[in-house]
A and B are shown apart, each in its own frame.
Chain A
Amino acid sequence: DTEVTQTPKHLVMGMTNKKSLKCEQHMGHRAMYWYKQKAKKPPELMFVYSYEKLSINESVPSRFSPECPNSSLLNLHLHALQPEDSALYLCASSQELASPSTYEQYFGPGTRLTVT
């Protein structure tokens, strides 16, 4: 099973709402990633977890709060978002976090978020 699943597929939220995005993989991968992708742009790294610990935070605003409750699950908690946060949020996983980066990343289908 080489699948990364994400829920929900679509999310519309107001600027005062609190919501969460969920990502799951059962490949035994120990590195998990959140990316943000705007239309016709490349994925931009937001967070990386390695062995359930936050390894990289790309100076993401605190209204985005990641959580890795176990090795298979990754959540992204959203609060007080702005309309400019509307984007496709992609989750990915890889066998491990390594440098040089020798492991391919498996991406989920993404959650399309609209902030109104």
Chain B
Amino acid sequence: QQPVQSPQAVILREGEDAVINCSSSKALYSVHWYRQKHGEAPVFLMILLKGGEQKGHDKISASFNEKKQQSSLYLTASQLSYSGTYFCGTEMNAGGTSYGKLTFGQGTILTVHP
């Protein structure tokens, strides 16, 4: 089942902050965040695991609320290079036929203007 991202799009000026949310109706075991620029491959940003472990870039932060099955990506002091489409990928089952499988949300388009 596809996670739901919000907002669908956000426009910022350089230096402004943004929060992108990713919600699931099912229990999550891990949440991955990727950014994809137009015409390019998705690039890894962050992994958040059930239990609080995180792995990712120093300048990007994220949270994972296990009770709410929700993750948020925090982009602070945005730069022009932050522009792109942000996808969360969620793992909803541990083991079984979906072992390690990620299902991506529909994406959030972030545009940063000078």
Which A residues fall within an 8 A CB radius of B? 4, 31, 40-45, 48, 50, 55-56, 90, 97-110
Contacts and interface: CB of A to CB of B under 8 A. Distances in A.
B75 interface: no
Contacts, number: 78
B37 to A, nearest CB: 11
B106 A56 contact: no
A102 B87 CA distance: 17
Interface in B75-101: 87, 91, 93-95, 97-101
Contact of A109 (B41, B87, B103): B41
A102 B2 CA distance: 20
B55 A102 contact: yes
Interface of B is mostly: loop
12 contacts: A42-B104, A45-B102, A50-B100, A55-B99, A99-B29, A99-B93, A100-B30, A100-B50, A102-B30, A102-B47, A105-B34, A108-B41
Interface string B5-30: 00000000000000000000000011
B99 A56 contact: yes
Given A40-B107, A105-B32, 6 more contacts: A42-B87, A48-B101, A99-B94, A100-B91, A102-B55, A107-B42
Contact of A97 (B42, B47, B99, B105): B99
B100 A101 contact: yes
B98 A56 contact: yes
- Residue of A4, A101, A105 with highest tally of chain B CB at under 10 A: A101
Contact of B42 (A41, A43, A48, A103): A43
Nearest to B46: A104
Given A100-B29, A100-B49, A42 B106 contact: yes
